[in-house]
Amino acid sequence: MSSVATNGQATGLEHLGIEGAAAVYRNLNEAALYEEAVKRGEGEIAEGGPLVVKTGLHTGRSANDKFTVRDETTEDTVWWEKNASMTPGQFAALWEDFKTHMKGKELFVQDLFGGADLDHRLPVTIVNELAWHNLFIRHLLRRPEAHELNDFEAQFTIVNLPSFKADPARHGCRSETIIAVDFNRRMVLIGGTSYAGETKKSVFTILNYLLPAKGVMPMHCSVNTTENDNAAIFFGLSGTGKTTLSADASRTLVGDDEHGWSENGLFNFEGGCYAKMIRLSAEAEPEIFATTKQWGTVLENVVMDPVTRKLDLDDATLAENSRGAYPIHAIPNASATGRCGQPRNLVMLTCDAYGVMPPIAKLTPAQAMYHFLSGYTAKVAGTEKGVKEPTATFSACFGGPFMPRHPAEYGALLRELIAEHDVDCWLVNTGWTSGAYGTGHRMPIKATRTLLNAALDGSLKNATYREDPNFGFMVPTSVPGVDDQILNPRSTWADGDAYDVQAARLAAMFIENFAKYEDHVAPYVIAAAPRVNQAALSRFAAE
């Protein structure tokens, strides 16, 4: 039940040491939070009803401002090479300063679950300074039934104060922005950023730490299924198509970003979606587009005409990473439970801006392990003119910034689950074709969907395949409904030699990145590495 505490009334936050707030609004529903957000000038209402907000300086996650407390709890369980540390003393000072900062402020609190599987879900309390942040996280996580709130006992608390400014000298951080994770105190403190994604990815970080200890695999992936439960997992880094491709009219959406895989099957950690809005097309993504016309959707950094209240989804002035947050039932064919059975297919999405990877390839279990640990995608220069060079990104487990443990731990869990459930693995490139970024173009969404559907319905297994000379995986030569040519990326390039050079460069980047795992994985995984075409590579060096 919702409650409001003012003027020294009991707030339910005393046990945390949070005292002196001007008011505490607990578990307000969507309508009430809308009203509070608008009343406070936090956002404006667009045509059709969405709440439009701006986040200012930070329009994406601040991965370099995230710190984990290093103590006896975490010393041997966190991978310190890729997780920046802070001391328990620095965290204690930060928490004191957070409590001071909250005095006299109005706070919005939600009690929610992370995880649709009753055996593995995590009750969390989220304390927000902003009403719209509270609405966002209510959309994104799993809302308890009224009776579940009676004996709700949070196992973690997340406090998010965008107006707080961290102090590098006192808190051990590097800027005024901080995301501080303390697994011993069971708290996450977020300060100095209004980008809402930080909160949902903090819950993800916690689950990524806790679940492997119970033998449950946490994954940065989307999941969808069918009436007869032909479930599929789509791994991928940001912008590779998890949200876009999992919302498919012919399949049931389980979730778009974070899932667990246990003996019971797959389960969503969340109860909502967080979709990229930039240049969203009504034709290619009708289900997601419809949410931009609905009451309830929170639109972050989407440009709106203040008079007509019409949205311009093509305008990247506020952010290239503009976002829409909505409860999962805003998508017509979403799962009511957030759960499904064991997957039959596992897809690794990559947005290869070099235009080298084929649009789909079949992976052996060893290749799947290799690509899971590599976590490859490429970032493009965005909208800047004249910048033609993409940048390769390797992010372990397709989610480095949210994975506290060593990638080999997640890898070992995944390997066992793939083998136990005999899952078919695929690599899908949603990035460039007919040349690299700057010359070619992005893979048409329609082609990607057709190829995926052939993989998921089993028909693609009967196609004829060729072996990719660089990556060693098997690539279909013909698939009904798509142009044969795009299946062979080299043939889409105007200059085949230029393709070979680019492919050799990418293969070499994979090898270089993978060196750090060689002591942690079995030889058969190392053997699944790409082969570097040395002749092509030396042509590049000579150029």
Ligand X SMILES: Nc1ncnc2c1ncn2[C@@H]1O[C@H](COP(=O)(O)OP(=O)(O)OP(=O)(O)O)[C@@H](O)[C@H]1O
Binding partner selected for residue 236 from ligand OAA, Mn ion, ligand X, none, CB under the kind-specific 5 to 8 Å limit = ligand X
Q: Quote the Cα angle for 518-61-232, to 5°.
A: 60
61 touches ligand OAA by CB under 6 A:
yes
- Rg for the chain (alpha carbons), in Å? 23
State yes or no: residue 236 binds ligand X (CB under 6 A). Answer: yes
Choose between 355 and 399: whose C-beta lies nearer to ligand OAA: 399
Give the separation between CA 86 and CA 70, rounded to whole angstroms. Answer: 6
For 114-138, the DSSP string reads E-SSTTT-EEEEEEESSHHHHHHHH
- Decide which of ligand OAA, ligand X, Mn ion, none touches 201; Cβ closer than 5 to 8 Å per partner kind: ligand OAA
* Beta bridge partners of residue 339, listed in sequence order: 267
Choose between 28 and 137: whose C-beta lies nearer to ligand X.
137
**Residue 430 interacting entry, from Mn ion, ligand X, ligand OAA, none, C-beta within 5 to 8 Å by type:** ligand X
Query: For residues 285 and 244, is the Cβ–Cβ distance under 8 A?
Result: yes
**Is residue 297 a known part of a binding site?**
no
- Residue 292 or residue 533: which is nearer to ligand X going by CB? 292
Judged by CB under 6 A, the residue of 197, 390, 472, 489 near ligand OAA is 197
Residue among 183, 124, 197, 132 nearest 159 (CA): 124
Q: Can you tell me whether residue 445 is helix, strand or coil?
A: helix
Partner residues linked to 52 by β-bridges: 44, 299
539 is in an annotated binding site: no
Catalytic status, residue 395: no
CA atoms within 13 Å, Cβ hemisphere of 406: 12
DSSP single-letter state for residue 334: B
Active site residue 238: yes
Q: Decide: is 344 part of the binding site for ligand OAA (CB under 6 A).
A: no
The DSSP letter of residue 291 is G
Residue 200 labeled ligand binder: no
Catalytic residue among 58, 242, 251, 371: 242
343 binds, among Mn ion, ligand OAA, ligand X, none (CB under 5 to 8 A by kind): none
State how far the Cα of 539 lies from the Cα of 299, in Å rounded to an integer. 48
448 near ligand X (CB under 6 A): yes
Q: Based on the shown chain and the rule CB under 6 A, indicate whether residue 201 belongs to the binding site for ligand OAA.
A: yes
The single residue listed with the structure tokens 């329009």 is: 59
Work out whether 443 is an interface residue with ligand X (CB under 6 A): yes
The answer to whether the CB of 50 falls within 8 A of the CB of 27 is no
Per annotation, catalytic residue among 142, 201, 344, 371: 201
Task: Tell me the two tokens of residue 531.
Answer: 């082969």
Pick the closest to residue 121 from 342, 330, 271, 229 (CA basis).
271
Phi, psi torsion values for 503, nearest 5 degrees:
-65, -40
Site track 27-56 with ligand OAA (rule: CB under 6 A), x = hit? ------------------------------
Residue 331 within binding range of ligand X, rule CB under 6 A? no
Residue among 138, 276, 344, 505 that touches ligand X (CB under 6 A): 276
Helix (H) or strand (E) holding 392: strand 391-394
Catalytically annotated residue among 243, 350, 430, 492 = 243
Least distance in angstroms from the C-beta of 319 to ligand OAA: 11
Catalytic positions, please?
61, 201, 220, 238, 242-243, 257, 323
List contacts with Mn ion (CB under 5 A).
242-243
- Residue ranges for the binding site? 61, 195, 201, 220, 236-244, 257, 285, 323, 448
Q: Which residues bind ligand X (CB under 6 A)?
A: 236, 238-245, 256-257, 274-276, 430, 442-443, 445, 448
Binding residues (CB under 6 A) for ligand OAA: these are 60-61, 197, 201, 238, 257, 274
